[in-house]
Chain A
Amino acid sequence: MSVICRKLCSSILSEHFGQIVQRVAEDLFKHDARPLELICCTTHLPLTKIKEALCVLIKHGFVVYGQTERGLEYSLIHQNILLILRYPKYMFFVKTMCGDESEMILEEVLMSGYITASEVITKTYKKIEQSPSGLQPSVPVLKEKFELLVKNQFLTRSLCTDTVEEKTNEKPDFTLPDFNLAAVIKKIEGDNNSDPGDSKIYWKVNFDRLIQDLRDQIIVSAISRRLDENAGELMRQLLFLMYLRTASWAHTSNPIPLTEIKEAVKKINYPLLAHHLDQYLHLIEEDSSQFLKRVGESGGHFCVNMKEAFEQLAWATLENIVTERFGSKAARIFRLVRDKKYIEQEQIQQLAMIPAKEAKHLTYTLLQENYLQIQEIKKSGVSAAPIKTFFLFHIDLNLVVYMEVQHCYQALYNIMQRREYEISSNKRMIDKQLRMQTLTTNLKEHGATEEQLAEIADLMTPSEKQQLEKVQNTIKKLGITELQIDDTLFLLTMYLRYH
């Protein structure tokens, strides 16, 4: 793992869990697996604090432990830390799939790491009560929503498998929760002795499922862009049919019979798609993106090719990056090299139709920035003739993707650092606003007059208000940029997962 990835993870942890958790994790980063005593040695933190930090890290799935001959050892799973960047997207996805209450339930689970069903419902109930969303809190509805999340496999049982050796053979368990509804209601009403009967049955977020869903969204929207909405919807149906018969993360789906595709399309309200299904299948299959393959002698089966799809998408991403960093002529050269696989400088300028000097400059810029690689080929001609050397340009896709993943890490880290800086250098004003907000809410609760409220609002001068707004916009812009960079990171990570 690279230094920049470590710094990014560290920064994410610090933002959410504070310095101590960050320092403990940092120690595990540097040393891989190690026992408590050694963490204590190098971090110089109080032992109890280290223990507490490890508890937090374990509960959120960032640290696992295992028994070794050296004792109990803790190790970090840094990929899970990077997932935090994407939590908002998981919540939003669940919102669109299962509704607002489900989103809130998921958020609660994310906040706890793992939690019992009754507890998460209680918490969500209280949250809805307090929120101005206009939702009516209801325990049966929340239970239903919780079950919906389990049925969709967004939540899964959290078994006691945080140890390294057990982690590998863990099978997700989606048995529906069973607890006493009435007891939960009683508990909410304040009866602390009421027992919902599901203590020690914990639930956690099934990230694997959500990652696949975000992955599928990319595929669907790519096809929608390339062809049209109908084709995009067909792709969605194909992915759904793929799940029914294929192991997660398989490179290609098992063959899907045409009849089943027809059935699936009939059930959704896309009349144009249903009418032209054969044609749409043909179009997706024929498209250069090659997301779909026709198989079998009769031609009545289709395979979704995930591996190929992400290769195409990774190329498209890189081409875009080259365009924006070095201009469209550089991107032309990049695509040309991709197309020809191995190509000489002279051919580049001829085929790209770019003046020799400019073509050379761009090619060498791309070479210098590692988007292109060079290969030397020595060819001995007729006997006595001097050995001729050819320099061929080519692209090592995996290498370039890996490089851009690092680029994403750095961009994320930098933007986060900057956001942190903007917040801390305007801390006084932000705090002031926070205090005023609390004051206003308190006063409102106590029936303060308009005048009193206006008085508080005046505590901040117009120029201060202006400044505050500017700071808030800055923080928002930086935050949104992080979300956007993460999109690129996600796509490239998906490519690496398949290749």
Chain B
Amino acid sequence: METEAGTSKEQNAINTDTNPFEIIEQKILALAQARPKGITDKDLIIEMPELPVKERAQIINKLLSQGHFDLFKQSGSLLYRLKDPSKAKIAKGADNEEKIVYSIIEEAGNKGIWIRDIRFKSNLMPTQLSKILKSLEIKKFIKAVKSVAASKKKVYMLYNLEPDTSVTGGAWYQDQDFEAEFVDVLNQQCYRFLEKKREQMNSCRGGPIMARNVTFASSKEVWKFISDLGISKVKLSVEDLEMILNTLVYDGKVERTLSSDGSILYRAIEPLLDSPGLIKSTCGVCPVRKHCYDIGDVTPTKCQYITEWLE
């Protein structure tokens, strides 16, 4: 960030009178406007593939230096976001402390920031801080959002921002509550689908490899099946469904493979082993095993679990 800012001055000189650059500038600004969450270099590459890297950097640097953009770092890549026009407003009607708090919250982006962290960064007294926050909230500069992570703590962010999925939890949350049952149902339905596919292999006559290949399903296929079932109130994305499919992988029921064309394939598998003999005995699942000795209250001869199990 600093280096880019450093080089921007000399490059500005070159850029000022070149027309095509201005068109590109407008394009980028329009793009940023369409995406209030911000745009990344990747987005720019996709939207304007013909733009050379060097020139792109020059333009971005120019826009940054002109104060059009705020620069954020999000999950390892840089994010350019159009400066909030409301900031101008706050500059007028607020005192210094409010400005500081506002800029701290602004910096946190759509992931929000906890009150404690604001306090640390601003060095304000708790009572004073909460007063400021309340005032900013009333003026609709900022808002408080309950985060699904870390036991529903409130985080603050700018009023016009759409909270990040890490705050809302995405499709799996309703009013900050994780919809465990919904996830479980989807988990079961996905498995049912893959299991059915596996059954098809019994009627496959084209040799073992072909038989195995009929068991594969891409995430898109599963997604379509689930969408057609109509069990979801919210619209799920393929990525959402991949999350569900991955839970099946962690359940040991499904295997994930990358196909040659880069799409992810899933298939139901049989476990390598039958359930181990150890857990067919009460001692295999005993919760008080650590208190079990030859003498005392818990002993193999007195054991109630064994007695019950022998009945």
B-contacting residues of A (Cβ < 8 Å)?
A: 222, 225-228, 230-231, 276, 279-280, 282-283, 288-289, 312-313, 316-317, 319-321, 324-325, 328, 331-333, 335-336, 339, 346, 351-356, 358, 404, 407-408, 410-411, 413-415, 417-418, 421, 474, 477-478, 481, 483-489, 491
Contact = CB atoms under 8 A, between A and B. Distances in A.
Contacts of B300: 413-415, 417-418, 421
B209 interface: yes
Interface in B244-265: 244, 246-247, 249-252, 255
Interface stretch (B20-28, B74-82, B229-237, B266-274): B266-274
B250 A414 contact: no
Given A339-B250, A410-B292, A418-B303, 9 more contacts: A226-B269, A227-B208, A331-B251, A346-B149, A356-B151, A407-B283, A486-B277, A487-B277, A491-B276
A319 B285 contact: no
B88 interface: no
Given A339-B250, A417-B301, A279 B208 contact: yes
B289 interface: yes
A474 B310 CA distance: 6
Contacts of A331: 251-252
Contact residues of A: prevailing secondary structure: helix
B125 interface: no
Contact of B273 (A276, A320, A353, A404): A320
B281 A411 contact: yes
A276 B207 contact: yes
Given A321-B284, A335-B250, A352-B247, A418 B301 contact: yes
29 contacts: A225-B270, A279-B207, A312-B272, A316-B271, A316-B273, A320-B279, A321-B279, A324-B285, A325-B285, A328-B251, A332-B251, A351-B246, A351-B247, A352-B250, A356-B148, A407-B289, A414-B300, A414-B306, A415-B281, A417-B294, A417-B301, A421-B300, A421-B301, A474-B310, A484-B278, A486-B277, A487-B276, A489-B278, A491-B273
B114 interface: no
B276 A320 contact: yes
B32 to A, nearest CB: 28
Interface string B196-223: 0000000000011100100000000000
B279 A332 contact: no
A34 B300 CA distance: 33
Q: Which 7 A-B pairs have the closest CB atoms?
A: A484-B277, A411-B283, A414-B300, A488-B278, A417-B300, A324-B279, A488-B276
A213 to B, nearest CB: 18
Given A411-B283, A485-B278, A335 B273 contact: no
Contacts of B303: 414, 418
A319 B270 CA distance: 14
Contacts of B272: 222, 225-226, 289, 312-313, 316
B92 interface: no
A329 to B, nearest CB: 9
B251 A484 contact: no
Given A320-B275, A324-B279, A410-B292, A226 B270 contact: yes
Contacts of B180: 354-355, 358
Interface string B124-161: 00000000000000000000000011110000000000
Given A276-B208, A321-B284, A485-B284, A225 B274 contact: yes
A178 B242 CA distance: 69
A324 to B, nearest CB: 4
B208 A283 contact: yes
B178 interface: yes
A400 B151 CA distance: 31
A218 B64 CA distance: 65
B277 A485 contact: yes
Contact of A317 (B243, B246, B276): B276
B289 A410 contact: yes
Contacts of A320: 271, 273, 275-276, 279
B104 to A, nearest CB: 15
A376 to B, nearest CB: 19
B226 interface: no
A272 to B, nearest CB: 8
A315 to B, nearest CB: 9
Contacts of B285: 324-325
A235 B249 CA distance: 26
A346 to B, nearest CB: 6
Nearest to B184: A353
Contacts of A313: 272-273
Contact of A279 (B209, B275, B284): B209
A482 B280 CA distance: 10
Given A319-B252, A332-B250, A485-B277, A415 B283 contact: yes
B44 interface: no
Nearest to B183: A353
Contacts of A225: 270-274
Contacts of B271: 225-226, 316, 320
A438 to B, nearest CB: 28
A10 to B, nearest CB: 11
A212 B285 CA distance: 29
Contact of A353 (B247, B280, B306): B247
Nearest to A417: B300
Contacts of A228: 208
B275 A324 contact: yes
Nearest to A336: B250
A326 to B, nearest CB: 9
Nearest to A231: B208
Contacts of B193: none
Nearest to A473: B310
B276 A418 contact: no
Contacts of A404: 278
B75 to A, nearest CB: 13
A487 B283 CA distance: 15
Contacts of A484: 277-278, 280-281
B172 interface: yes
Nearest to B149: A346
Contacts of A417: 294, 299-301
Nearest to A424: B301
A222 B284 contact: no
A55 B170 CA distance: 73
A477 B276 contact: no
A410 B172 CA distance: 43
Nearest to B169: A350
Nearest to B273: A316
A240 B301 CA distance: 45
Contacts of A317: 273, 276
Contacts of A489: 278
B208 A222 contact: no
A158 B143 CA distance: 85
A378 B207 CA distance: 54
A455 B128 CA distance: 100
A151 to B, nearest CB: 32
A320 B253 CA distance: 12
A33 B281 CA distance: 35
Contacts of B246: 351
A174 B306 CA distance: 46
A212 B292 CA distance: 34
